[in-house]
Amino acid sequence: AVSSSRPARHVGGLLPAFQLSRLVGATTGPGKSGTCLTAAAADGSEGASAVPQKFAIIGHNIAYSVSPAMHNAAYNELGLPHTYGLIDEEDMATIVASNFWIDPAFRGMSVTIPHKQAIMPHLDELSDAAERIGAVNTVIVDKAASGTIQRRGDNTDWIGIYNPLKARLGGDALSIKGGAALILGAGGTARAAAYAATQLGLERVYYNRTPSKAQELADAFGGTVVGDLSGASDGNDQKSKTLGDICKEKDLKVRVVLSTLPAAAGFELPEWLAADKSTVVFDVNYKPYWTPLLRQAEAAGLDVVRGSEMLWEQGVGQFELWLDQDAPYDVMKKVVLENCLPKEEE
């Protein structure tokens, strides 16, 4: 049975690995790491969830990924005969030219770096979220009775950000007057963060060491770019406005800090922001468990969200897009925490 403890959400051992065999003269079979596992064809008809189906995460240098353990545990919990593997391949063209891409048992993919944009031209349809964010992290494969295959691209990264924040901001998250999200960084995850903040009804303020990149986010999702995170100043120089100045001018209150910066950046909040106990700090890194930002936020008594929570939330979203049934939320959460928690925290 699906856990009843899951929060209100937006609906939207050895792990198997898959080797990509070429279409011409290709064969697949069970074997060691890097070998494609066979499965019976999934015909997309009623009851197809009981037919073995293949799923995988695609990316490069992804041996660390927790996704196979998380999804396979979910299938096992529900008694489903599906298999979720790992495809470590740098070239998107190689994936598209492989047997796996047209395998009738192939029903979906998780997509990570460096393929989140590269896969988009190879898909038949994109969700609004994928189009707005400009990246795909989920591929859903639909097969009609006629045999026609349609590959749809979606993005659940933003759901992994949206759900934890909505739970912490409360049921009135969409009606927060003057609430703002400070988004740190300007890469692909920052775009998902901006989209999630928009859906939460939060104003967006962007900070990045390359202001032009932050401006691209502002142009795409609306909001303000700031180059200085200091509190309100006494100066009138428009070019040197601080975050405090912007908040005062626009009557904003930073409710959420969303950091998409690498842990190695060592970022910490200025003292005036860390002093506000109502601020939620979200760091998308799931390893290491403690970043300088999270240590600072926890020491200051702020509510924190780790990337591990984003990981299981986006994974739950993928599971439900693929199989059109409730995911075993607590099982997927447990697997992620077992892989992410320091041993003394488990």
* Token pair of 167 as six digits: 């739970």
Q: Which of 54, 116, 166, 241 is catalytic?
A: 116
Contacts of 117-121 with CB under 8 Å at 24 or more apart are: 117/188, 118/92, 119/58, 119/92, 119/153, 120/153
* Token pair of 31 as six digits: 């074997």
Of all helices (H) and strands (E), which one includes residue 215?
helix 211-221
Q: Peptide bond preceding 16: is omega within 30 degrees of 0, i.e. cis?
A: no
Q: Which of 103, 157, 245, 283 is catalytic?
A: 157
* Token pair of 230 as six digits: 């200091």
Q: Is 239 marked active-site?
A: no
φ, ψ (nearest 5 deg) of residue 85: -120, -165
Q: Following DSSP, what letter does each residue of 103-140 receive, concatenated?
A: -TTEEEEEE-TT-TTTTGGG-SEE-HHHHHHT--SEEE
45: closest CA among 150, 154, 153, 146? Answer: 146
Contacts of 220-228 with CB under 8 Å at 24 or more apart are: 220/132, 220/134, 220/191, 220/194, 221/132, 221/191, 221/194, 221/195, 221/197, 222/198, 223/183, 223/194, 224/250
Q: Peptide bond preceding 114: is omega within 30 degrees of 0, i.e. cis?
A: yes
> For residues 99 and 94, what is the distance between their CA atoms, to the nearest angstrom?
10
Q: Please give the span between the terminal C-alpha atoms of the chain, in angstroms, as a whole number.
A: 24
Complete edge-to-edge strand list for the sheet that includes strand 54-59: 83-88, 54-59, 106-111, 138-143, 149-154, 125-126
CB atoms within 10 A of CB 228: 15
Q: Is 277 marked active-site?
A: no
Q: Cite the active site residues.
A: 116, 157
